[in-house]
């Protein structure tokens, strides 16, 4: 790469400084908005809601989710201010968590622990050339939504019965319009099929302490299509366990055995015992024996099955001296 001439370096540096000051403009705007008395009160209310209080006990938050006038009054200074600032500073980044994909925008306005308030905007482009969604996902969270502006149509689905690999869904059509108020939990969800121009929704979401899995079902027959962990911490730990296994870190076998015999999520613990076995068969086998003997543990049955498989495949394992599992 050719070296930059002095004049180029000065120009690049001044552009960098310019970008930094642009960014500080939008960040200052955000901080001023968050520090304003009505938003500070909203944050307090959100904190109480995140702490487990029912929405009805969090007056300002509840009002914001039921009155478009209140919501607009709170959001306008931020949205108007950011739009004006971004026009003046086009290289600045929106200083809030955000996402834009295929006509759907999400802007996380405020967050407190597991509770967050976001602005979600659907544009017509999100539905151009797209067939009606064949499936619907149910996340383990509580959600309240208020349509701020625009209109659209969609479906609301509720799980009314569960069978082995499928659920019974009650699906109803719904028209979204300004001031529509919706509430969902782990067994209810919605799909938007079409919008007229745009549809802006204010969303309040709260995750439980240990969220259960998110499940996706086919709408036509309720069949389970996919199940994903609802807890990012568990998934992160599961990835770390898998990586240590792939790195062949034998010194990780004992800590993994301890995770397997601990109190974590069952998928994480199962990955830990598998990788512990692969890294150090003696340590992993000792952990497996502990799991087999744990009455009431959800892993005791699959552990017993794996134990029998291993003893048949490697009879010498059953003859080894018992090693204590670190818990």
Partner 1 sequence: MKHLSIDLNSLPGLDTQQGLFGSIAQSINASLDDRVLVVMTYLYEAS
Residues in touch with partner 1 (CB under 8 A): 97-99, 101-102, 104, 106, 108, 118, 120, 122, 133, 137, 139, 189, 191-192, 213-214, 216, 226-232, 234-236, 238-240, 243, 245, 266-267, 270, 274-275, 277-278, 280-282, 284, 302, 305-306, 309-310, 314, 316-317, 319-320
Q: Which residues contact 24 (CB under 8 A, 6 or more apart)?
A: none
Alpha-carbon span 182 to 234, nearest angstrom: 30
CB of 212 to partner 1, least distance (A): 10
Dihedral over Cα of 31, 42, 93, 232: its sign: positive
CB of 106 to partner 1, least distance (A): 5
Can you give the length of the chain in residues? 327
Closer residue to partner 1 (CB): 88 or 298: 298
CB of 123 to partner 1, least distance (A): 11
Closer residue to partner 1 (CB): 86 or 137: 137
Closer residue to partner 1 (CB): 79 or 282: 282
CB of 90 to partner 1, least distance (A): 24
Q: Could you tell me the two tokens for 282?
A: 């003696």
Strands (DSSP E) contained in the chain are 98-101, 104-112, 115-123, 135-138, 142-162, 167-177, 181-184, 188-206, 214-218, 224-228
- Give the count of alpha carbons within 13 A of 135, CB side only: 14
Closer residue to partner 1 (CB): 5 or 101: 101
Closer residue to partner 1 (CB): 149 or 281: 281
CB of 198 to partner 1, least distance (A): 13
Alpha-carbon span 13 to 4, nearest angstrom: 11
């Amino acid at each position: 790469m050719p070296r930059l001439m002095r004049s180029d370096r000065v120009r690049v540096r001044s552009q960098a400084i310019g970008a930094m000051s642009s960014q500080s403009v939008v960040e200052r705007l955000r901080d001023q908005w968050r520090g304003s008395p009505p938003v500070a009160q909203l944050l307090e209310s959100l904190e109480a809601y995140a702490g487990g209080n029912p929405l009805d006990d969090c007056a300002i938050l509840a009002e914001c989710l039921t009155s478009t006038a209140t919501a607009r009054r709170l959001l306008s200074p931020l949205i108007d201010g950011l739009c004006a600032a971004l026009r003046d500073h086009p290289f600045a980044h929106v200083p809030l968590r955000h996402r834009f994909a295929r006509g759907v925008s999400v802007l996380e306005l405020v967050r407190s622990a597991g509770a967050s308030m976001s602005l979600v905007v659907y544009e017509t482009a999100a539905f151009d050339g797209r067939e009606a969604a064949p499936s619907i996902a149910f996340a383990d969270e509580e959600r309240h939504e208020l349509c701020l502006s625009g209109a659209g149509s969609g479906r609301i689905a509720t799980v009314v019965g569960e069978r082995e690999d499928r659920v019974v869904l009650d699906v109803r059509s719904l028209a979204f319009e300004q001031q529509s108020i919706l509430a969902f939990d782990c067994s209810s969800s919605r799909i938007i099929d079409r919008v007229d121009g745009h549809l802006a929704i204010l969303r309040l979401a709260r995750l439980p302490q240990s969220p259960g899995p998110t499940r996706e079902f086919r709408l036509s027959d309720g069949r389970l299509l996919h199940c994903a962990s609802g807890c990012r911490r568990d998934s992160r730990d599961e990835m770390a366990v898998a990586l240590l296994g792939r790195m062949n870190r034998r010194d990780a076998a004992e800590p993994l055995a301890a995770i397997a015999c601990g109190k974590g999520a069952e998928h994480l613990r199962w990955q830990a015992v598998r990788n512990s076995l692969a890294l150090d068969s003696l340590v992993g086998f000792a952990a497996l024996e502990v799991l087999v003997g744990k009455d009431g543990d959800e892993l005791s049955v699959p552990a017993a099955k794996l134990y029998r498989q291993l003893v048949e495949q490697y009879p010498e394992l059953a003859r080894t001296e018992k090693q204590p599992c670190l818990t």
